[in-house]
Amino acid sequence: MEFKKYQHIEKFGSEETDGINKGMCYVFPKIDGTNAQLWMDEGLHAGSRKRELSIDSDNAGFYEWAQKQENIIKFFSAHPNLRLMGEWLVPHSLKTYKDDAWRKFYVFDVMNGDDYLSYDEYKPILEKFNIEYIPLLAKIENPTHEELVELLDKNTYLIEEGKGVGEGIVIKNYAYKNKFGRTTWAKIVKSDFRNIKKPNLKHGNDRIIEKEIVEKYINETLVQKEYAKIANETGWSSKMIPRLLNTVYYCLIKEESWDFVKEYKNPVIDFKKLNFYSNERVKEIIPQLFN
């Protein structure tokens, strides 16, 4: 087997996830670590979201940790055709996890080739080998948006008592394929419901649509999370600033463009100007990096 890039989790309500709540939905806590995977091919291999790892090119120590886990080696000896996808919990934007939760691997998907095993299928297999996995938060048939949003406040998985709730939830419908024929999962993130500036709705020559979009869709949670990913992977230095700016701008276009195109009714957007305001927003949120 070779490295396999994990699918992007799309926003609930987007075109990519339209209709995912029609049928039996499995809802899981979303945790704020770094994407990781393990598979066997003449030895144990490890990957991040975008690349295969090695002892000389690790990601926050995940590869080194994995090589020492005897239960995982035994799992792959019994199931060499499976792949474990999960979250390696290292500090990002959310710092309220329990002390003993850090630097552990929490499986959220198991794959056989290109196919996903359902939660009911992989749960007993992982338990047999004492492999940690993200537990089911709720199993609901045909949930409404309101019912799903209510589950945000029930996600206290791994969170220190009295320190709020987790990052959000992930919705999976194992029988679902979107309108493009792809299996995909949906997410609802807590930060989407708070600390979002309302756009300036005035019309006329003084209106700057690009600035309104940036102020609404780029928030502190996004910026801090992408900053933490870079810092954990390579260590932070001023040389990383262009990468951070480009990553935040990429997230804006990749994850939010369909939403702001709908909201602003197919606006004429100057993407050079949008990029400028995106960079300025990052500087506004974490000014200490630019001093």
The secondary structure of 88-150, three-state, reads: ECCCCCCCCECHHHCCCEEEEEEEECCEECCHHHHHHHHHHCCCCECCCCEEEECCCHHHHHH
Determine the Cα–Cα distance for residues 73 and 231; give it in Å rounded to an integer: 29
Residue carrying structure tokens 């396999």: 4
Give a yes or no: residue 235 inside a domain.
yes
Range of the domain at 213: 195-290
What's the structural domain count of the chain? Answer: 2
pLDDT tens per residue across span 209-234: 999 999 989 988 889 888 988 888 77
Q: Where do runs of H (alpha helix) occur along the chain?
A: 62-66, 70-78, 119-128, 145-150, 209-217, 220-234, 241-263, 271-285
In a domain, 57, yes or no: yes
pLDDT reported for residue 100: 96
Distance CA 170, CA 31 (A): 10
> For the domain that residue 106 is a member of, what is the CATH number?
3.30.470.30
Q: What is the pLDDT confidence band of residue 174, given thresholds at 50, 70 and 90?
A: very high
Taken in order 93, 97, 101, 106, the sign of the CA dihedral is: negative
123, 155, 190: which is the final residue of a domain? 190
Tens of pLDDT, residue by residue over 82-112, are: 999 999 999 877 889 999 999 999 999 999 9
